[in-house]
Amino acid sequence: ISRFLFFFFVFFLKPETAAVLKRTVEALMERGAVVRNLENLGERSLPYKISKHKERHRRGGYFLIDLEGPPSIVSTMMDHLGRDIDVIRRAFIKHPVSKTEECSGIIPVNYEDKLIAKKK
């Protein structure tokens, strides 16, 4: 299982944005991904005019989905999102998994030494 940051733009001016996000998250989970976070980066002007699904887009809503999943889902999700008429652009970015440090436990404290140090 790899860690990915997945982002895509949605034509944000449509009221179906929540439905697009729901469809996308459900499709990811059906393919074995674990969605860690969904972040709305806001509506912005696109860097250039994008023609998609017989429409020209100048603005879009940017969303970031933090997920963990098998690398095999990338190609199927790219195809799935390419057919979605509400998705303008999509991309996967592999994010290295940070190693978690093991807890070393409770460090014993000698309270007698602390009491003696305060009395002086």
- The CATH number linked to 83 is 3.30.70.60
Residue 107 within a domain: no
Integer Cα distance of 19 and 84 in angstroms: 11
Write down the pLDDT at residue 63. Answer: 87
Residue 57 in any domain: the answer is: yes
Residue 119: DSSP 8-state: H
Count the domains in the chain: 1
Query: Is the pLDDT reported for residue 12 higher than 60?
Result: no
Encode pLDDT of 94-120 as tens digits. Answer: 877 666 666 666 777 676 666 665 555
**Does residue 5 register a pLDDT over 70?**
no
Q: What is the model's pLDDT at position 46? A: 83
For 53-91, the pLDDT digits (tens) are 788 888 888 888 888 888 889 999 999 998 988 888 888
Query: Is 40 inside a domain boundary?
Result: yes
Predicted local distance difference test score (pLDDT) of residue 100: 60
Please compute the mean of the pLDDT values over residues 20-38 and round it to a whole number. Answer: 90
Which residues on adjacent β-strands are paired with residue 51?
Answer: 56
In a domain, 9, yes or no: yes
Residues 65, 18 contacting (CB under 8 angstroms): no
Give domain status of residue 26, yes or no. yes
33: pLDDT strictly greater than 80 = yes
pLDDT of residue 29: 93
Domain housing 69? 2-93
